[in-house]
Amino acid sequence: MPSTSTLRKTKLTVTISGDVVSEIDEIAKEKGAPRSQVMEEMLRAWLLKSKKKLIEKDIEAYYLSLTKKEKKEDKAWIEIVAESAKRTWDD
């Protein structure tokens, strides 16, 4: 995937509340960065956070779907991995 600095920029017009604009402008001033850069960073962070939440939700759904037998097997694997890690770190 190309780096974010080589991706073509697209001009976008949005309408947002004045109080939000004030907050963005304050952050931009503190960072010494253009408003559009600050907004892009905020949106990128929000997108990443949203993707992480979806992954966490999928993981939770997976573990909630396990049968008792699968949970017992998973617990056994966790114990094996924990013991192996302990031995590795203690060396």
pLDDT one-digit tens code per residue, 25-77: 999 999 999 999 999 999 999 999 999 999 999 999 999 999 999 999 999 99
Residue 81 confidence (pLDDT): 95
pLDDT beyond 70 at 91? no
What are the structure tokens assigned to 14, written together? 């949005």
The structure's pTM equals: 0.67
Amino acid 89: pLDDT: 87
Residue 3 has pLDDT above 90, yes or no: no
